[in-house]
């Protein structure tokens, strides 16, 4: 294929890359234009999303070979474009809600939207990667921007601590991932997903199996799946709330899409080798996420454990190894992004009469009396995350459980349903606190 064809397939990434450089120069010239630059960055994401939608339509109408770019390093298929649209949507919402919060915290700077755009470039490469090299480049581009975003509130000790923890544990996960990639390359002789899949079509040895385990472990860290979840509550609590909303949505989509692609395309001929791993990780995430959230008094930490819990439910779809399971996983992912962003937007509206932001469970006591509309919205998002019908969250769980039953994983579906009942407890606890506990009436009514 010609270079023009290859460049056309990465139009969203090119748009974001050039725009981020231009906005970085603007930020250096007028550092007080943070809000304007954020709005411009949202416009850039809309343009990138439009390009991704065009590529999605083109991918559905044409030959799949025409979606391959740069000799098989990237692909612009419909799956990648769907994931990009979710990523850009989550990033745009995160940019829209950030300026007001960061300005009140004294942390708003014009570099913030530039970092989000650069992270979006990395996430776009992640979901399009069909080679271990491009996988790692995209993942690290996203991670480097994320480390800075986590510690963006420089005057807040919690934010600095969150950034440091994220960086150290992220470096560890990258090392594990790289080691697994080196083992896979050593035993298959290629870094291309399709070539790896062909090499793994027969019996695999212990070395290749270890490489597979290390790669899955590194990616499990990126989606904050148990037992690689230890960074999530601390980073979610310490990072500024708009950044936490971004972490809980856009990077989660990119890492999940990457996990789907590498397991199906590269390891698809060895489903029996990784299915047991995914099932164990799924169950651990569901149980740890549900049990860990019960005693949380900080709402951001509670939503962090909610994120771990929901990742576990999503992985049930992947564990099936079927098209129905993957489709259910994508439906759940889209619903999860909407519900999580909604929950964090409600959380950002909590502030006292002195303007201080509230994020503890005790702060929302009696919220239904002081701010009934906010309490009602927060309750809807909590009910949806709990999977209570007929809200969206229920249908997300329903499709993955149906896929599990259809694939013969009936015990996994039963355990998942039982664990979802446990998880509903802490969501209902939030609603109970807002509607049935007495507060101090310190919440601003707007």
User: Residue 444: pLDDT above 70?
Assistant: no
pLDDT at 440: 62
SS3 content of the chain, % helix, strand, coil (to 5): 80, 5, 20
Token reading at 257: 């899409």
Q: How far is CA 359 from CA 38, 298, 382, in A?
A: 25, 6, 15
What is the spatial distance between Cα 367 and Cα 387, in angstroms, rounded to a whole number? 23
DSSP 379-404: HHHHHHHHT-TTSHHHHHHHHHHHHH
Residue located via tokens 């692909």: 75
**Ramachandran angles phi, psi of 10, nearest 5°:** -110, 30
CA angle 339, 165, 359 (to 5 degrees): 40
User: Residue 382: pLDDT above 70?
Assistant: yes
What pLDDT digit, counting tens, does each position of 129-182 carry? Answer: 999 999 999 999 999 999 999 988 877 788 888 889 999 999 999 999 999 999
Contact indicator for 124, 84 with CB cutoff of 8 Å = yes
pLDDT at 421: 85
Proportion of the chain above pLDDT 70, given as a percent:
96
Token reading at 386: 């709990």
Side-chain half-sphere exposure of 130, counting CA atoms within 13 A: 18
Token reading at 151: 């510690």
Q: Which of 68-77, 85-94, 202-211, 233-242 has the highest mean pLDDT?
A: 85-94
- Nearest-CA neighbor of 369 among 282, 290, 442? 442
What pLDDT digit, counting tens, does each position of 27-86 carry? Answer: 888 877 778 888 999 999 999 999 999 988 887 766 566 788 888 899 988 899 999 999
What is the spatial distance between Cα 271 and Cα 101, in angstroms, rounded to a whole number? 45
Count each helix (H run) and each strand (E run) in the chain, helices first.
19, 2
Q: How far is CA 352 from CA 257, 300, 432, in A?
A: 39, 17, 20
The DSSP symbol for 80 reads H
Kindly state the average pLDDT of the residues 16-21.
94
Residue located via tokens 């399009």: 128
Token reading at 434: 């807002």
Q: Can you tell me whether residue 230 is helix, strand or coil?
A: coil
What pLDDT digit, counting tens, does each position of 264-313 carry? Answer: 998 888 888 899 999 999 999 999 998 888 888 889 999 999 999 999 99
Q: What is the CA radius of gyration of the chain?
A: 21
CA angle 217, 128, 409 (to 5 degrees): 50
Contacts with 146 (C-beta within 8 Å, 6 or more apart), sequence order: 119, 166, 170, 247, 251
pLDDT at 321: 87
- Nearest-CA neighbor of 297 among 360, 237, 367, 356? 360
Q: Cβ–Cβ contacts within 10 Å for residue 424, how many?
A: 17
- Nearest-CA neighbor of 380 among 417, 437, 430? 430
User: Residue 381: pLDDT above 80?
Assistant: yes
Token reading at 121: 């470039």
Establish whether the linkage from the previous residue to 390 is cis, with ω within 30° of 0: yes
pLDDT at 57: 87
H or E stretch including 156? none
What is the spatial distance between Cα 229 and Cα 233, in angstroms, rounded to a whole number? 8
pLDDT at 93: 94
pLDDT at 154: 76
| Banded pLDDT at 355 (limits 50, 70, 90) | low
| C-alpha 25, offset from chain centre | 29
Kindly state the average pLDDT of the residues 11-40.
89
Establish whether the linkage from the previous residue to 313 is cis, with ω within 30° of 0: no
Contact indicator for 412, 319 with CB cutoff of 8 Å = yes
Q: Cβ–Cβ contacts within 10 Å for residue 71, how many?
A: 10
User: Residue 417: pLDDT above 90?
Assistant: no
pLDDT at 179: 94
What average pLDDT does the structure give for the chain? 88
| Banded pLDDT at 441 (limits 50, 70, 90) | low
What is the spatial distance between Cα 160 and Cα 311, in angstroms, rounded to a whole number? 26
N-terminal to C-terminal alpha carbon distance within the chain: 57
CA dihedral 111, 116, 119, 123 (to 10 degrees): -170
List 69's β-bridge partners, or say none: 74
This prediction's pTM: 0.92
Q: Where are the alpha helices (DSSP H) in 66-156?
A: 78-104, 111-128, 132-150
């Amino acid at each position: 294929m010609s270079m023009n064809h290859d460049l056309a397939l990465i139009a969203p990434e090119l748009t974001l890359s050039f725009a981020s450089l231009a906005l970085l120069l603007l930020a250096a010239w007028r550092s007080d234009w943070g809000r304007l630059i954020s709005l411009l960055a949202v416009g850039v994401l809309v343009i990138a999303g439009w390009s991704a939608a065009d590529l999605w339509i083109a991918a559905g109408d044409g030959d799949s070979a025409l979606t391959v770019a740069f000799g098989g390093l990237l692909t612009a298929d419909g799956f990648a474009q769907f994931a990009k649209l979710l990523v850009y949507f989550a990033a745009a919402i995160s940019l829209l809600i950030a300026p007001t919060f960061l300005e009140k915290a004294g942390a708003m700077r014009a570099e913030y939207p530039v970092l989000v755009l650069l992270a979006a470039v990395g996430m776009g490469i992640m979901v399009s990667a069909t080679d271990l090299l491009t996988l790692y480049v995209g993942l690290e581009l996203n991670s480097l921007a994320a480390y800075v975003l986590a510690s963006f509130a420089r005057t807040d000790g919690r934010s600095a601590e969150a950034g440091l923890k994220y960086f150290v544990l992220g470096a560890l996960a990258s090392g594990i991932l790289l080691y697994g990639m080196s083992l896979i390359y050593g035993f298959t002789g290629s870094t291309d997903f399709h070539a790896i899949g062909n090499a793994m079509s027969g019996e695999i040895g212990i070395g290749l199996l270890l490489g597979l385990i290390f790669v899955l472990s590194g990616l499990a860290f990126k989606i904050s799946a148990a037992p690689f979840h230890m960074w999530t509550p601390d980073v979610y609590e310490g990072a500024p709330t708009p950044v936490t909303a971004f972490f809980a949505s856009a990077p989660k989509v990119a890492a999940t899409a990457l996990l789907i692609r590498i397991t199906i395309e590269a390891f698809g001929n060895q489903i029996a080798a990784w299915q047991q791993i995914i099932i164990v990780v799924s169950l651990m995430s569901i149980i740890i996420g549900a049990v860990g959230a019960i005693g949380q008094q900080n709402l951001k930490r509670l939503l962090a454990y909610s994120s771990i819990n929901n990742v576990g439910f999503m992985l049930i779809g992947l564990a099936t190894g079927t098209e129905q399971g993957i489709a259910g996983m994508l439906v759940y992912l889209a619903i999860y992004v909407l519900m999580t962003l909604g929950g964090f937007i409600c959380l950002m509206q909590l502030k006292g009469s002195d303007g201080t932001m509230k994020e503890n469970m005790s702060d929302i006591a009696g919220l239904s009396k002081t701010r009934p509309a906010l309490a009602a919205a927060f309750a809807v998002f909590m009910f949806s995350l709990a999977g209570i019908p007929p809200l969206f969250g229920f249908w997300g769980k329903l499709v993955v459980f149906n896929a599990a039953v259809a694939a013969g994983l009936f015990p996994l579906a039963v355990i998942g349903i039982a664990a979802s009942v446990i998880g509903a407890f802490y969501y209902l606890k939030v609603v109970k606190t807002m509607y049935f506990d007495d507060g101090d009436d310190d919440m601003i009514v707007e």
